[in-house]
Amino acid sequence: MADVYEKFKKLPSTLQDKLNAEEVLNCIDQIEEKFPQDKVSLAYIVMAVAVGDLPRENLFQTLKAKYNLDEKLAKDIANSLEEKIFVPVFGKKEIKPEKEIKPEKEIKPEKKDAKPEKERAKPKEKEASLKEEEGKKILAKTKEEVEEEKEIEKIKKELPEEIPQKMDLNQALEKIIQKNNLSFAEERLKKRFANIIFSFLRGIRGELETKIALKRSEKIGGMAFSEDLTDQIIKDLNNLAPKVEIESKPRANSSVPPIEQPSELPPFSPKIEEKKMQAPVTEELLSKQTIKPQNIAIKETPEEKVKETLKEITEGKEEKKEEKMEAEKKE
């Protein structure tokens, strides 16, 4: 597809204008609506025939063999393309038998007043000279183009180097939507428009096919845009295409240093202190105890409890010693 599109761009501008005319695009839409199929794009067939990749003669056989179309459908499509597009643009097909009849004209030397061979050779020389002139014109055009390219390169060298503003497919899509003030009634229509734009920027779909898809009715997979809006979108796409990066590649020289990660991370194990459930302090308990309420809160701390338990142990030991001493004295 990309090769056919590149060849199509190299065709004469007059021929490209004829094939891009609104009448031709409408005819392609009408043929697609009349003979629906999803195996090949008719816009692609038209471009392929224009650049010579597909034969115009016996086109239905090519459609049948290469794209697996039904024989009747292939004939209907080929006949419609021939009648509505190829004949108006390229003219009628040359019939081979007519070329074979040419030798009859060369039998004329039998007449007495036949021209000498030198005079017969003049038409051939004229044809050769015409071809040489056409070749010179083509070479002259190429020389002019080369000179223009040289001037452009000089201007680029004189200008300061600036980093081109690159963008991805989604950014290009949003720019086209904003520039043309587009709005979509449904999300599926926006997705369809995005697919059309992305396929053009990726080189999958050519300018002619993109125009057809944008102008085609919504019922058969198009956007139903007007001719002016379609032309403006194509113009915007051609301007944005050089700036779009299809695949993001990492920069070779990166000034950002790599992030250093610690070799060993400290284990994260926070200690959870278990809270002991304490019975609520009521007025009855306070009345039974001789300790004041203020001292209760102080004894609830773990350090105070430890001190109290130690005191109780030591006091208990001293009492036992005193009891033993008294018992020994009595004996």
Candidates 225, 199, 202; CA nearest to 212 is: 225
Q: Which pLDDT does position 326 carry in this prediction?
A: 76
Residues 67, 122: Cα–Cα separation, whole Å: 47
Sequence ranges of the domains in the chain: 2-96, 169-243, 291-330
pLDDT of 299 reads 44
Q: What is the pLDDT along the chain (331 residues), one digit of tens a residue?
A: 667 878 888 888 888 888 888 888 889 989 988 888 888 888 888 888 988 888 888 888 988 888 888 899 989 999 999 999 988 888 877 654 434 434 444 445 555 454 555 555 556 566 656 655 655 454 444 556 667 777 787 676 665 444 456 889 999 999 999 999 999 999 999 999 999 999 999 989 899 999 999 999 998 889 999 999 999 999 999 999 998 887 654 444 444 445 555 555 555 555 555 555 555 555 555 555 544 444 444 444 566 656 666 766 776 666 667 777 777 777 6
**DSSP secondary structure of 162-218:** -----B-HHHHHHHHHHHTT---SSHHHHHHHHHHHHHHHTTSS-HHHHHHHHHS-G
In angstroms, how far apart are the furthest CA atoms of the chain? 181
- For residue 62, CA distances in Å to 41, 48, 78, 302 come to 14, 12, 10, 96
CA angle 161, 162, 168 (to 5 degrees): 140
Q: Which amino acid is at 53?
A: D
Do 42 and 208 form a contact (C-beta atoms < 8 A)?
A: no
- Angle of helix 22-34 relative to helix 42-51, nearest 10 degrees, comes to 130
Q: What is the pLDDT of residue 233?
A: 95
pLDDT score for 210: 94
> Could you give the CA distance from residue 108 to residue 201 in angstroms, rounded to a whole number?
60
Q: Residue 47: name the closest of 80, 9, 12 by CA.
A: 9
Which residues on neighbouring strands pair with residue 244, listed in sequence order? 167
Beta-bridge mates of residue 30: none
3-state secondary structure of 300: coil
The predicted structure's pLDDT at residue 312: 65
Q: What is the pLDDT of residue 271?
A: 53
Query: How confident is the model at residue 40, as a pLDDT?
Result: 85
Q: Is 262 exposed, middle or buried (0-12, 13-18, 19+ CB in 10 A)?
A: exposed
